[in-house]
């Protein structure tokens, strides 16, 4: 479930500071928890989805760089 919300939040582009401020408004405790963060993200996207714009899709160049970076990281891990 956590991965799903991270995927949705990153696709929509919810700023982490916005989540923190929303959590502060709707939580009595200052303690951070994954359950409270998930509820905050769900409420932000449910109530204010129109305010947050979707992020643009990655270009072919960005995707190529990601593949190369992943291959380089795999080579480093295999070496060690």
Average pLDDT over residues 5-18: 68
**DSSP letters of 9-21?**
HHHHT--HHHHHH
Q: Compute CA 38 distance to the chain's CA centroid, rounded to the nearest angstrom.
A: 11
Residues 30-72 pLDDT 10s: 677 778 777 887 888 788 777 777 778 889 999 999 999 999 9
Higher per-residue pLDDT: 16 or 70: 70
- Within 13 Å, how many C-alpha atoms sit on residue 74's CB side? 6
């Amino acid at each position: 479930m956590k991965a799903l919300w991270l995927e949705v939040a990153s696709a929509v582009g919810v700023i982490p500071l916005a989540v923190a401020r929303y959590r502060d408004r709707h939580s009595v405790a200052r303690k951070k928890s994954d359950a409270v963060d998930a509820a905050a993200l769900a409420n932000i996207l449910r109530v204010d989805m129109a305010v947050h714009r979707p992020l643009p899709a990655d270009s072919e160049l960005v995707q190529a760089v990601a593949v190369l970076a992943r291959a380089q990281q795999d080579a480093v891990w295999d070496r060690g």
